[in-house]
Structure 1
Amino acid sequence: MNSTVSNNLLAGRRILVTGAARGLGFEFAVALAKAGAKVVMADILADLLASSVQRLQADGLDVFGVTVDLADQASIKQCADQSVAWLGALDGLVNNAAITNSGGKTAFELDPKVWDLVMNVNVRGTWLMTTACHEALKASGRGAVVNLASDTALWGAPNLLAYVASKGAVTAMTKSLAREFGPDNITVNAIAPGLTLVEATEYVPEHRHKLYHDQRALSREQVPADVSGAVVFALSDLSRFVTGQLLPVNGGFVMN
């Protein structure tokens, strides 16, 4: 576990993290729990999720697991309902789950079925999970949504069209949802990590890892802990007047 956040910024918060069985989602769950939150970890990978939850519970962290299929609207609603029931309320939602290993094809080679699946999970799933959690977040009075975008949509990464387009859509959707949810005192922000060393990026060609490493202002590999702090911030009282924003977290590879 690479997370370094260990404070009480989120004491008493109840938070749902999707795609939390492994990778960044797992690290987010660790960081949030260490910051004082009670966390539901949701994922489609039921066996891995159970193992990850048990691992964190053994470390004394207050987490619980719920399976979810972001391509299935009924499953999304069930996940939201189960999460609120276990947590007792809901203060935060981290829309992290996504299909990432959809690259390696040019725009001419990309299978429309892959495009549809990526959009269905990464965009439609994020939208439906957010609306499914809306009422509980509204009731919280301090609701916060964090959508995981990607800096690939900021620099136009080639041969990754479906993923890049989906994350561009998540960024745009974040702004619209921020305006719609603002009257309910719910913040909606997006975080755009750079290429991070997790399981989901193992398929990324070595030349792209080198590109990021060599062109970052901070010349080192990006690790999950680099992103966790931004997520904790976006869910905490420190960011209650920040909404509709995109925060790139990539060591200066892309600068706004």
Structure 2
Amino acid sequence: MLQGRAILVTGAARGLGAEIARSLAEKGADLVLADIAVEEGRAVAGQLGARFLPVDLGDPGSIAALGERLTGDGRCLHGLVNNGAIATGIGGISFDEIEIESWDRVMRVNVRGTWLMTRAVAPLLKLSGSGRIVNVASDTALWGAPKLMSYVASKGAVMSMTRSLARELGPDRIGVTAVAPGILTTESTGYVPEARHRLYAEGRAVPGPQGPDEITEVVAFLLSTGALTLTGQVLPVNNGFVFN
């Protein structure tokens, strides 16, 4: 499905990002992995025969440098998965208890980082003639999860950007979509209270936990040449916890 397609995955050192990378590698993609966690990211890249580039999504200079390195390769890019985001340690408090710096940091990484990464590699996606961008949002922005407002707001912004980017990049035949998972069973969600895991498991139309493999197959399709007609769509891939 993805044989020979060059794809960049951010936040690929662990959790869903690493699982997305593994799935894309199995399908023949030529991968570039990016993350702020250098050692973990290089380990995943080594396992998959992929290239690793360090990036700090909160630092515009770091993102620009990554784009310049890819441009310097003289190759096009067929896909971008904007998966990198901050989630750990920002929940469990009400909206009036959020510290301003914490709010700003979430917006810098989750919203501005997604925009700047897209801007940095858009010229390479245009060169391919069949570029695809998949933004990883969250279904928390669809049902309004409480005591997680900065994250919910950031992922709502990612959904809105997806629709706007789809219109701006559509003339270049670049498809832009978003997936909105619920809570997944990965090492990255160990901090989530058991009550929230139980809420999802019991509230899904298909009851039970959801593994990352149920997301990765959707992401892989959205990166394929056959997915252009879905551009601008936000897909709540959560086994029916939220319908869009």
TM range (shorter): over 0.9
Structure 2 CA distance, aligned partners of 1:14 and 1:55? 17
The one of 211, 215, 226 equivalent to 1:238 is 226
Structure 2 CA distance, aligned partners of 1:52 and 1:29? 8
Amino acid at match of 2:30: K
Q: Please report how far the alpha carbon of residue 154 of structure 1 lies from its aligned counterpart in structure 2 after TM superposition.
A: 0.5
Amino acid at match of 1:124: R
Question: May I ask how many residue pairs the two structures share in their alignment?
Answer: 243
Q: Please report how far the alpha carbon of residue 126 of structure 1 lies from its aligned counterpart in structure 2 after TM superposition.
A: 0.1
Identity level (%):
53
Q: SS of 1:193's equivalent? A: coil
Gaps of 5+ in 1: 1-8, 58-62
How far does the alpha carbon of each residue in 1:81-116 deviate from its partner, in whole angstroms, 9 at most, with x for none? 323545832000000000011111111111111100
How far does the alpha carbon of each residue in 1:91-147 deviate from its partner, in whole angstroms, 9 at most, with x for none? 000000000111111111111111000000000000000011111100100000000
Structure 2 CA distance, aligned partners of 1:86 and 1:38? 14
Q: Please report how far the alpha carbon of residue 241 of structure 1 lies from its aligned counterpart in structure 2 after TM superposition.
A: 1.8
**TM-score of the superposed pair, with normalisation by structure 2:** 0.97
Structure 2 CA distance, aligned partners of 1:81 and 1:89? 12
How far does the alpha carbon of each residue in 1:152-193 deviate from its partner, in whole angstroms, 9 at most, with x for none? 000000010000000000000110111111111111110001
Question: Residue in 1 aligned with 2:62?
Answer: 75
The one of 213, 217, 242 equivalent to 1:225 is 213
Question: Residue in 1 aligned with 2:12?
Answer: 20
The one of 104, 111, 134 equivalent to 2:92 is 104
User: What are the residue-to-residue correspondences of 1:1-256 with 2, within 5 Å?
Assistant: 9-57=1-49, 63-85=50-72, 88-101=75-88, 102-256=90-244
Structure 1 CA distance, aligned partners of 2:80 and 2:72? 15
Structure 1 CA distance, aligned partners of 2:193 and 2:155? 20
Quickly say closer, same or farther: Cα 1:176–1:231, change in 2 above 3 A.
same
- In 1, are the aligned partners of 2:75 and 2:124 still within 8 Å (CA)? no
Alignment RMSD, CA only?
A: 1.1
Q: SS of 2:80's equivalent? A: strand
Structure 1 CA distance, aligned partners of 2:96 and 2:66? 37
Structure 2 CA distance, aligned partners of 1:188 and 1:207? 34
Q: SS of 2:130's equivalent? A: coil
Amino acid at match of 1:190: A
Q: Please report how far the alpha carbon of residue 55 of structure 1 lies from its aligned counterpart in structure 2 after TM superposition.
A: 2.3
**TM-score of the superposed pair, with normalisation by structure 1:** 0.92
Structure 2 CA distance, aligned partners of 1:164 and 1:70? 18
Structure 2 CA distance, aligned partners of 1:152 and 1:84? 35
Q: Please report how far the alpha carbon of residue 242 of structure 1 lies from its aligned counterpart in structure 2 after TM superposition.
A: 1.7
Q: Stretches of 4+ moved more than 6 A in 1?
A: none
Q: SS of 1:122's equivalent? A: helix
Amino acid at match of 2:29: A
Structure 1 CA distance, aligned partners of 2:74 and 2:149? 37
Structure 2 CA distance, aligned partners of 1:185 and 1:89? 14
Structure 1 CA distance, aligned partners of 2:60 and 2:5? 26
Q: Please report how far the alpha carbon of residue 48 of structure 1 lies from its aligned counterpart in structure 2 after TM superposition.
A: 1.2
Question: Residue in 2 aligned with 1:5?
Answer: none
Q: Please report how far the alpha carbon of residue 12 of structure 1 lies from its aligned counterpart in structure 2 after TM superposition.
A: 1.0
